[in-house]
Structure 1
Amino acid sequence: MTGATKYLLLATGLAAFILLGLAQAIFGPVLPVYAKSFGLQISSVGWLLSLFWGGCLAAVIAVYIFPSHLGPKWGLALAALGTALLALMHSWALVLLGGALFGAGYGVIAAVYNPRVLSAFGPRGPAMMSLLNAIFTLGAIAAPQIFLIFDRDPTLTFWLFTGFAGLILAVTTVMGDTRVEAQAETGVLRIDWPILGFAALGIGIESSLVGLGPTALVIAGQSEEQATGLLSLFFIAYLIARLSLVFIANLVPAFLLYITAMTLTGALAAGILLGGDPALLFPLMGFGCGFFFYGAYLTGLMRMGSSTRVSAIMLGAGLCGAIVLPILVTQALGFLGPKGFFIILASLTSALLVAALWAAPRLLRRKSL
């Protein structure tokens, strides 16, 4: 790989990961608007979030099966097509298709840029890959603000995303070949089911907070504008958590961070149920969410090995949680009153905390026996 190609890979990767951050944070504010525009219940529009993550999961599987055929251009093209359909708002069916295609683009981008940047920069690869995942949060912080600037108009917002994806795609056309060989497999793969479960539920909670949190805040009495602004504050706390990993990752076991994050998130949800101010407590949940993926993912790699197959399995488990849990939450919201989301959140985090404490002696050991 030439020097120019290497740095174009990094530059387009940084821009693409900002797009991923925009994607993750936009559905929370936009779901109530889609519900009003198409005359749907929240339980119905919640399918958009699950189809987005379903497209992402399908793309991750496809990249794993065809690692040399799907690259950055495919991911950006799918993202541009998906956001264009979301912007058109021609029908609810096309909006759902747009969400699935946008998710597929998200999955390809996430699956191909990380290993390619890691390989391209040699000893500096881990630092460059960390930079990609940190800048992701900038897009997540910006998305709600862009939505407010456009007066909560999904059409203008998603056309901007389409233009941004198209611009990055245009730059990748002058980039050389960035493909790397898949990491070789050695030994017998032993699945550690408990850590897969913790990964699925942890990322499912994160997806629910991001995708449904603003809607839950509106149901609890916040205005839609306030809820959108609180999501930006949530992602600022999320960014602080991600950046803190640079300093504490080598000092604190990954699964202990998962337990701490679950404890904090559950305590904040309980605080809202006991009368605490959601405008203060909801953004702080972003700090706990910032550790969910790292805590489960790294524990899985340490337990089962750091091969490509294990990485794909851990990512797939998290995506399964991101697909299923928001749908289950939306189906239950209508039966639990104005703070129903936080009842579900407090109950689920409490149950997970008990399970995590029970599993901790085994999962804190490095290798599966």
Structure 2
Amino acid sequence: MNRYFLPKAGWEFFDVSRAYGLGIIVHALSGDAVVSDMGGFYLIESKRELNFERIDQIHRFLGDDRAWNRTFLTIGSGQREKTKKRVVEFLGNVENIRNILDDLKELKSPVSIGSGKETLYQPMELAATKGIRDEILLKKQYSEGSSVKVSINDFSLSVLGHINATIRKFSNMGMVFAVPSPTRTRILHLIDEIKKRIDDSVKGLHRAGWFPSLAQIAINLVLEELRVEEGGKFAPKFGSLIYGVMTRTGNQWKPLTGGIFPLDFLHQIAESNEAKDVLNKWKDIFEWTAFRKGYEDLPSTLAEFIANPSLSNYERYIKLHLRNELDKDRIKFGSYEKRVLEGVVSFVGV
């Protein structure tokens, strides 16, 4: 068993993207990799031996131009191409990869943020947007601060992880980007199956806003967990969605908010007898209202209930759902059977 220990630096996107990036490298060299969240660090494991003659396999995971453009959304095309070239060359060098892996065979202190030469851009880590504030000697002075710098090793791992694992959805409102935080997941399932199917299913930002968009992604993610499990394969489990939201003002992208969208309630539903009935109905509600005017209230209340499954939120959602079903001029999503309502309410808090 090959094990690699990636200590967390405390920046959620930076940490989880590096973990996936490292997992992709291990998978490319061995054909197998599992990423687990161990609390203070991520553990990347492979039961197979690493073969460095497979270094070219990493190129399979370097994505297309759209993936790179979205990861480097806030910089110009010229700088974007130069940065891409550095990362591609770095990841194609056997010695660089050996050094990364050798350095992570034992658990060490977290990396030092601000000590490298590569800029950690806003679409990679929302917390890095304003940079690191420089010392201000006079109160009347103002400084935006210097860019957050990281090493080429960590930067390349983060970019590789973002290209393959980050879900990005756009509209004229802005962009939501989210990464599933693993409890224990196999790289092959996340990259080759789950993310691709979510990208195909969730076409863009929901017109009701960024929060319903996150709920839609979360439901699709849990349905994919169920699908993989039903296929007789290893069932990946994710603890949450780490997300960021950006808006565009003129030609500039600005941070709006970020946080963690919980999956606990959806996992409880997934383990129940009513899992498919409930989750597929909720998936349809978000999908059918995503680009339809006049239906913003239903997905908004459903998203709030999923994130905070209280009795009052459940009541608000059910009332809106029933009102929608009784209106002859609106799209129908179907009523709930008594057993389904009772099954859901058993997981609802007061």
Query: After TM superposition, is the score higher than 0.5?
Result: no
Query: Which of the pair has the greater relative contact order for Cα pairs under 8 Å at 6+ separation?
Result: 1
Q: Which has the higher strand share?
A: 2
In the superposition, the TM-score normalised over structure 1's length comes to: 0.30
Q: Which has the higher helix share?
A: 1
Larger Rg: 2
In the superposition, the TM-score normalised over structure 2's length comes to: 0.31
